[in-house]
Amino acid sequence: MADRGSTLTSNHWGVGLVETDGERITAVGNHPRDPAPNRLNENIPDSLYGPGRIRRPAVRASWLEHGAAAKRGERGRDPFVEVSWDEVLDLLAGEITRIRTEHGNQSIYAGSYGWSSAGRVHHAQGLLKRFLNTQGGFVRSEGNYSYNAALVLLPYIVGPFYRHVPQSTRWSVVADHSDLVVAFGGLAERNTRVCDGGASLHRFPGSLQACADAGVRFVNVSPLRADMTEDLGGEWMPIQPGTDTAMMLALAFVLLEEGLHDQAFLDRYTVGFDRVAAYLRGKSDGQPKTPQWAAALTGLDANRLTALAREMAAGRTMITTTASLQRGDYGEQPLWATVTLAAILGQIGLPGGGYTIAMAVNANIGNTGRLFRAGVVDQGINPVREMLPVAMISEMLLNPGGAYSYKGQEWQFPDARMVWWAGGNPFHHHQDLNRLRDAFSRPETVVINEISWTATARHADIVLPVAAPQERTDFGAGQSDDVLVPMPAHASPAYEARLEYDIYAELAARLGNPEAFTKGRDAEGWTRRLWRDTQQMAEKQGLSLPDWDAFIEGDMVELPDPSPDQVFLADFRADPEGSPLPTPSGRIELFCAKIDSFGLADCPGQATWFPPRDSREEGPLALISGQPGTRLHSQQDDGAYSRSMKIKGREPVLIHPSDAAARGISDGAIVELFNSRGRCLAGARVTNEVRVGCIFLWTGAWYDPDFESLGAEGTPLDRHGNPNVLTHDLRTSSLSQSPAAHSARVEVRVWPHDETPPAVRAFEPPTLIRRK
């Protein structure tokens, strides 16, 4: 037990123990039962009370004066005027009414995106969608940035990705049964510090170490050595980014040509292998997928590829593929190739064999599962049928009414006059931020709910300051976490911030239908209602949970793992007729006639090799970016721990010694990364942890454009180190329209010693002026 259970809070990165001085939160530590705590809680106090906290409602000065007729191209540069809550809610209610009356609800795009809070009640995305659904609906987004290609592709070939996550093989099973784990994209421990909805007990490092202690061998197929901890003693195969599909096809070729494939498994459990075999042998395109062919693409040794294929067939092998690989050009293909390679080995459904997609995407996959679903705020029914694939916001805003293809059908972009964003930061997670800046100049009104003055807030017309998770009462219950965490309010909302629930309740009252949103309950009433729902779910599983008052004052509640010996697709392997897959054939579709019928040049009916789109003319170095170890995405980048790991205030970029020497770059130097899309500064960290010809820049540094330093294309220099000023905004394919940002190429140069680099201003508030 914690010393004082009432000090608990839940975050996506773990349970926190909160200390206060009676008015403010002064420190947040980790729960003593966490086997592998991280330091992300250290970011919370500075972020809550630092200069970047939004203190009062604010309206862009020119929008306040001119309304929707204000110049829109100045978003991100204009000063703001602080106003009262009454005034901002009156303004917003009036604007909602105007937009609906003049253009209809299909002109309101709610770009809400998750990860804002681990709480069940004060969930930014759920509350915004509930409110807008009571007001006639909105254009929604579909999918996510993390593994959208899997969400769209896998249902056609093996079943919904959301079945993969809860049904993934447990690491304890791998420790007992596997001989070899081949990890495409590695198994980065930093990713497993977080989990959507909560990561209460970090078991991943211990689970992998138990595998190594049991004699399981690991192979890290990644351009970054640190994508697998050294303690595992794994082999590093530093692959050229974007070529994993080629490597998988070459491994499959060896298995086929040397008779190491499992024909009996392929005959009973799959369809389309004859088409795959013809492609592997080059009969359909004239290019056999030999190890020599793959070696020229991947930069790996052909003999080692051949030997690895034999090793995979000689014992029980688990193949893991990270979510990051699908966020490159043609990102569906490494997913499909993973399934294909595992099927050819014939170990799918066996303990310790087969494959897992996105094994290290968060803390809980392969470690535990949720016994029952906790209570959730009902979002209601959205009357608006228009939707948008999540990564296409720039296309929508820049090309209203334009046509695009998605899941084999033709769609049309809505004409979004209002954008309302809550619980996310697109100027962190979207691609090609200079293009996004242009896109954000198009809508008539942009509304942002935020805690801090992120770049997204700076590009808004109306900014609503909202309470942080530690400033409101809630409870944590992640979808794949096996812990329930009390989240009492440890301090009042700082400055003039408000609960988002209360904001929507007041807006609903101004719009004439408060009961539709509140159902007669305040925020506390909803919290108690959701806890009762959770208790009832627990009772169906034979568990008794404490009443709300006892729970909120107590410690976290651990729940039993519903399937501790789980093996992915074991039921299907045992009885493919009685437990068919939810695919068109009921079997694994190595060739999918349905996808093939769409006639998509960028996603044919089987796993196929495509070279990355981004040309070497963009730059000689491949840019890799990934989840940082110092924060969750961009959250609390202004916190103490995140800032302590920067280099001279800039985000670190990893560069190989030979690439650094060729450019005169020393460790700790300020460097400029650039291509035709943008420029940013970073701090060089010279290390052999990254492959020659690659650089690695963490995601999440708050975008900090210097409008006084415009490039030849009119693009501002990012002073801080956000990789998305450099990434392209192309899609993986017209099947899933997923983001393909992990395919960028850049050049790097040292910042001139005779010039002082511009100061980082990301954590300062924008200019605040008095009303004219």
Q: Catalytic one among 109, 113, 171, 702?
A: 113
**What are the tokens at 540?**
């169906």
Check: CB of residue 454 under 8 Å from CB of residue 702.
yes
Q: Would you call 74 exposed, middle or buried from its count of C-beta atoms within 10 A (0-12, 13-18, 19+)?
A: middle
Check: CB of residue 13 under 8 Å from CB of residue 632.
yes
Alpha carbon distance 193, 361 (integer Å) = 10
Residue listed under structure tokens 């650094």: 660
Would residue 113 show up in a list of annotated catalytic residues for this protein? Answer: yes
Q: What is the spatial order of strands in the sheet that 25-30 belongs to?
A: 8-11, 14-20, 25-30
Question: Inter-axis angle of helices 124-134 and 500-510, to 10 degrees?
Answer: 10
Residues constituting the chain: 772
**What are the tokens at 149?**
């290609």
Q: Catalytic one among 13, 63, 109, 115?
A: 115
Q: What is the SS3 assignment for 418-433?
A: EEEEECCCHHHHCCCH
Amino acid at the residue 506: E
User: Please, what is the end-to-end C-alpha distance for the chain in angstroms?
Assistant: 57
What share of residues in the chain are helix, strand, coil (percent, to 5)?
35, 20, 45
- Contacting residues for 263 by C-beta, under 8 A, at least 6 apart: none
Torsion of CA 187, 192, 195, 201, to 10 degrees: 130
Q: Taking the CA of residue 625 as centre, how many other CA atoms within 13 Å lie in the half-sphere pointing to its CB?
A: 33
Check: CB of residue 180 under 8 Å from CB of residue 306.
no
Alpha carbon distance 582, 153 (integer Å) = 13
Q: List b or e across 290-307, with b for residues whose CB sees 16 or more CB atoms inside 10 angstroms.
A: bbebbbebbbbebeebbe
Check: CB of residue 368 under 8 Å from CB of residue 280.
no
Check: CB of residue 363 under 8 Å from CB of residue 180.
no
At 337, which helix (H) or strand (E)? helix 332-345
- Contacting residues for 5 by C-beta, under 8 A, at least 6 apart: 486, 553, 554, 555
Largest CA distance in the chain: 80
Question: Inter-axis angle of helices 500-510 and 523-540, to 10 degrees?
Answer: 120
Q: What is the SS3 assignment for 183-230?
A: EECCCCHHHHHCCCCCCCCCCHHHHHHHHHHCCCEEEEECCEHHHCCH
- Phi first, then psi, for residue 239 (nearest 5°) are -80, 150
Alpha carbon distance 124, 523 (integer Å) = 13
Check: CB of residue 691 under 8 Å from CB of residue 656.
yes
CA 589 to chain centre: 27
Secondary structure of residue 263 in the 3-state scheme:
helix
The 8-class DSSP code of residue 636 comes to T
Check: CB of residue 695 under 8 Å from CB of residue 655.
yes
- Count the neighbouring beta carbons within 10 Å of the beta carbon of residue 379: 18
At 65, which helix (H) or strand (E)? helix 61-66
Question: Inter-axis angle of helices 302-314 and 244-257, to 10 degrees?
Answer: 60
Active site (catalytic) residues: 113, 115
